[in-house]
């Protein structure tokens, strides 16, 4: 086994933990800086592998990027972008690389990229991106693994998304700010990270209005200027840490947690019997775990529904609750890969299509397991905390793609986690990426 995370059984994890900025907001905001020339500053940026990959991608295009890991400050100067091609090796590292397609097309009138990689949680087609970019004037050809697009003139449109795709909404918004006229995206994604990205575009000078219930109206053509922005706190990191305390019968205080973005998730934790206190104006969450958690059923859905990214971690809590829970994954068709690994640990789960039925057990048992995506990896880590004995998780590079210092944060709460021979990107490239302190 090449590199793994060793997780020992823990009880009653407790502490006050600081969160970091949301990776899913940072990635698209970094891509959006291609639309402007000059130096922008992003604060509260996590030191995680996907962010490092996006730094590499932007550097490859000609951007100057400085990242101070200590202050979590990222400076990106996009004045001298020279390329509109992205190397295949970089595109394959993460799904979010597709987010540079819109802004590169807007800036250069053409783009040449490989099709993106990322977590294996479904077919993950990009038809909503491509069909609507075509509608807005782009000519797009796919040859093998490569995509070539060009556009002489981008035109505003009334776009109807049959599903509120996060990435498609973001790409279309970035094309729309560069197109003349007003584009409306009907049934747009309004996930909190999309709203943080829109806030940045507005600071840059873009004219964007949200029209209820779920339309984004973009008046294109504004001259965009560089920006300074503090990234929203990561609701998914918050959810993962809350579950660590819940599953181990502990207590946690997250002063920065955006509780107002986690309503359905917090409701489900309360239904399980956990005590939840929310800070004033919806910021900050404290959880005190119940000793007799009840199983609760839930269904993932676009925001403000139960986040698909917390489905796998929440499943672990159901594995150890009393009763039976049904979990319906409605966002991605293949996001139950963690089930097989949890079964190895003694979980009783049956899968029928995209529904998992979980019968609570008294104990899970430590064993070697394999993480195959970011949130599935988090689920295995959580299961390892609760399991008797020692759990070893391979494929842990997935965890470092999405979480900064999760090992340290949990260890500070009383856990015993140790990376053994795990070669993650952030560790390999530490000296090269951090160019000032």
Q: Which is nearer to ligand UD1, 108 or 197 (CB)?
A: 197
The span of 80-88, 124-132, 242-250, 417-425 binding ligand UD1 (CB under 6 A) equals 124-132
Paired strand residues for 287: 252, 276
Of 387, 385, 380, 335, residue with least CA distance to 366: 387
Cβ at position 147, least distance to ligand UD1 in Å? 13
The span of 65-73, 122-130, 267-275, 383-391 binding ligand UD1 (CB under 6 A) equals 122-130
- Binding of residue 309 to ligand UD1 (CB under 6 A): yes
Interacting residues of 417 by C-beta distance below 8 A, sequence separation 6+ = 5, 6, 7, 8, 381, 407, 410, 411
Angle at which helices 127-135 and 166-178 cross, to 10°: 20
Residues 88-117 touching ligand UD1, rule: CB under 6 A, are 95-96
Residue 221, token pair as written in the block: 């053509």
Residue with the shortest CB distance to ligand UD1:
167
Residues in contact with ligand UD1, total (CB under 6 A)?
A: 24
Q: Which is nearer to ligand UD1, 146 or 419 (CB)?
A: 146
- Binding of residue 168 to ligand UD1 (CB under 6 A): yes
- Binding of residue 353 to ligand UD1 (CB under 6 A): no
- Binding of residue 175 to ligand UD1 (CB under 6 A): no
Residue 279, token pair as written in the block: 């800070």
Residues 326-345 touching ligand UD1, rule: CB under 6 A, are 331-332
**What is the C-alpha separation between 145 and 89, in angstroms, rounded?**
12
- CB 22 within 8 Å of CB 233: yes
- Binding of residue 166 to ligand UD1 (CB under 6 A): yes
Of 57, 164, 153, residue with least CA distance to 113: 57
- Binding of residue 27 to ligand UD1 (CB under 6 A): yes
In this structure, the dihedral spanned by the alpha carbons of residues 84, 86, 91 and 92, taken in order and rounded to 10 degrees, is 150
Q: Which is nearer to ligand UD1, 354 or 394 (CB)?
A: 354
Q: Which is nearer to ligand UD1, 183 or 308 (CB)?
A: 308
Cβ at position 437, least distance to ligand UD1 in Å? 28
Cβ at position 290, least distance to ligand UD1 in Å? 28
Catalytic residue among 84, 119, 319, 378: 119
Residue 242 CB: number of other CB atoms within 10 A? 28
Burial class (CB in 10 A: 0-12, 13-18, 19+), 149: buried
Q: Which is nearer to ligand UD1, 191 or 341 (CB)?
A: 191
| 319 flagged as catalytic | no
Please pick, from the candidates 248, 308, 391, 400, the single residue that binds ligand UD1 as defined by CB under 6 A.
Answer: 308
Q: What is the DSSP string of 344-368?
A: HTT-EEEEETTEEEEE--S--B--E
Please pick, from the candidates 167, 220, 239, 250, the single residue that binds ligand UD1 as defined by CB under 6 A.
Answer: 167
- Binding of residue 122 to ligand UD1 (CB under 6 A): yes
Query: Torsion-angle region of residue 331: left (phi > 0), alpha (psi -120 to 50) or beta?
Result: alpha
First-to-last C-alpha distance (Å) of the chain? 35
The span of 79-87, 125-133, 207-215, 275-283 binding ligand UD1 (CB under 6 A) equals 125-133
- CB 385 within 8 Å of CB 415: yes
Please pick, from the candidates 165, 187, 286, 392, the single residue that binds ligand UD1 as defined by CB under 6 A.
Answer: 165
Alpha carbon 104 to its chain's center: 22
Annotated active-site positions, please?
Answer: 119
- Which chain residues interact with ligand UD1 by CB under 6 A? 24, 27, 95-96, 122-129, 163, 165-168, 189, 191, 193, 308-309, 331-332
């Amino acid at each position: 086994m090449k590199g793994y995370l060793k997780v020992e059984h823990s009880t009653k994890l407790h502490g006050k933990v600081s969160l970091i900025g949301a990776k899913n907001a940072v990635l698209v905001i970094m891509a959006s800086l291609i639309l402007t020339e000059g130096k922008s500053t992003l604060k509260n940026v996590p030191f995680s592998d996907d962010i490092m990959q996006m730094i590499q991608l932007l550097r490859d295009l000609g951007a100057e990027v400085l990242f101070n890991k200590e202050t979590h400050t990222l400076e990106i100067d996009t004045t001298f972008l020279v390329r509109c091609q992205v190397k295949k090796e970089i595109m394959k590292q993460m799904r979010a690389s597709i987010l540079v397609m819109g802004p590169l097309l807007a800036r250069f009138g053409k783009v040449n990229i490989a099709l993106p990689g990322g977590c294996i949680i479904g077919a993950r087609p990009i038809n909503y991106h491509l069909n609507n970019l075509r509608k807005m004037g782009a000519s797009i050809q796919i040859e093998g693994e490569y995509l070539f697009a060009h556009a002489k003139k981008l035109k505003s449109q009334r776009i109807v998304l049959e599903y509120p795709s996060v990435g498609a909404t973001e790409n279309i918004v970035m094309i729309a700010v560069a197109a003349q006229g007003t584009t409306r995206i009907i049934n747009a994604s309004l996930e909190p990270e999309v709203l943080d990205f829109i806030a940045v575009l507005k600071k840059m000078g873009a004219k964007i209005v949200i029209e209820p219930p779920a339309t984004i109206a973009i008046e294109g053509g504004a001259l965009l200027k560089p920006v300074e922005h503090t990234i929203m706190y990561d609701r998914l990191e918050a959810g993962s840490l809350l579950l660590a305390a819940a599953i181990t019968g502990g207590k946690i205080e997250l002063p920065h947690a955006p509780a107002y973005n986690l309503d359905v998730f917090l409701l489900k934790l309360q239904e399980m019997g956990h005590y939840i206190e929310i800070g004033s104006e919806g910021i900050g969450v404290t959880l005190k775990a119940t000793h007799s958690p009840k199983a609760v059923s839930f269904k993932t859905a676009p925001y403000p529904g139960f986040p698909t990214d917390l489905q796998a971690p929440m499943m672990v809590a159901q594995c150890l609750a009393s009763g039976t829970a049904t979990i319906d994954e409605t966002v991605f068709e293949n996001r139950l890969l963690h089930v097989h690994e949890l079964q190895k640990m003694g979980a009783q789960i049956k899968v029928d299509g995209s529904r998992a039925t979980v019968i609570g057990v008294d104990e899970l048992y430590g064993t070697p397991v394999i993480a195959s995506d970011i949130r599935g990896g988090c689920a295995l880590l959580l299961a390892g905390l609760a399991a008797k004995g020692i759990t070893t998780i391979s494929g842990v590079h997935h965890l470092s793609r999405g979480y900064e210092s999760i090992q340290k944060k949990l260890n500070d709460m009383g856990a015993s986690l140790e990376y053994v021979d795990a070669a993650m990107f952030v560790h390999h490239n530490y000296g090269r990426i951090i160019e000032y302190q």
